[in-house]
Amino acid sequence: MTTDMKAYWNERFENGAIWGTEACPSAQMAVDYFKDGSAILVPGCGYGRNSSYLAKTGYVVDAYDISEKAIDFASQEAAGVNRNLRYEVRSLFDSAGSKVYDGIYLSNVIHLFLREEREMLLSHMTSLLKPGGVLILTCISVSDASNYGHGVEIEPHTFMKHENKSLHFYTEEELDEIFSDDYQILEKKLHEQMEKDPSGDVETLKLWFVAARKIK
């Protein structure tokens, strides 16, 4: 699964900043929840549009991605500019190391996985957050009428839209459930984000934005 993902994303990032260099709306919204100068983790950072924005805003940012292409691009863009930004090629599921963070910004990543991996990913992210730290999560929603239901449904609300790439569409109830044990939800809302799909067409994604504080 991970090898396929790596190959898929390396191929997509062959063309560099495929969604443009501006930060996602959710990265700008995240700033309301991260304390000035705090340590932020950006897992699945892609080519760095959000991690570089957060570093420029003044946070101390560690960011990683499974795609070497994405990290090469991000590192070159950051060279000599962002001293408070560190990039690494690394899997989301790699649990080596003991550093914990004040905040995590997990944008448009968790919906790429099947149920078991989504659970593992959230529990791993929780282990990387300090108590009282804030997780910002964005993911695709069942309200995204232009994308929901395309392809074969392989798990509830999970569709194979492109070859080797599943998309899970979250309901509000599912978000409430996955955060119920370890977090207090501070904000949960739908928002729109313009994005290019693999064919180059521009699409508008209807995404959840969740800000949640780790309570224990």
Ligand X SMILES: C[S@@+](CC[C@H](N)C(=O)[O-])C[C@H]1O[C@@H](n2cnc3c(N)ncnc32)[C@H](O)[C@@H]1O
Sketch the per residue contact string, 58 through 97, with ligand X: x for CB under 6 A, - otherwise.
-------xxx--x--------------------xx-----
Q: How far is the CB of 215 from ligand X (least distance, A)?
A: 25
Sketch the per residue contact string, 97 through 126, with ligand X: x for CB under 6 A, - otherwise.
----------xxx--x--------------
Q: Cα-atom radius of gyration of the chain, to the nearest Å?
A: 16
5 binds ligand X (CB under 6 A): yes
Q: Which of 30, 49, 103, 128 binds ligand X (CB under 6 A)?
A: 49
Strand partners, 104: 41, 135
204 binds ligand X (CB under 6 A): no
Which residue's Cβ lies closest to ligand X? Answer: 46
User: Per residue, what are the HEC states of the chain?
Assistant: CHHHHHHHHHHHHHHCCCCCCCCCHHHHHHCCCCCCCCEEEEECCCCCHHHHHHHHHCCEEEEEECCHHHHHHHHHHHCCCCCCEEEEECCCCCCCCCCCEEEEEEECCHHHCCHHHHHHHHHHHHHCEEEEEEEEEEEEECCCCCCCCCCEEEECCEEEEECCEEEECECHHHHHHHHCCCEEEEEEEEEEEEEECCCCCEEEEEEEEEEEEECC
179 binds ligand X (CB under 6 A): no
Of 44 and 103, CB closest to ligand X: 44
Of 90 and 157, CB closest to ligand X: 90
Q: Which of 30, 39, 40, 50 binds ligand X (CB under 6 A)?
A: 50
Contacts with ligand X in 8-37 (CB under 6 A)?
Answer: 9, 24
- Binding residues vs ligand X (CB under 6 A): 2, 5, 9, 24, 44-46, 49-50, 65-67, 70, 91-92, 107-109, 112
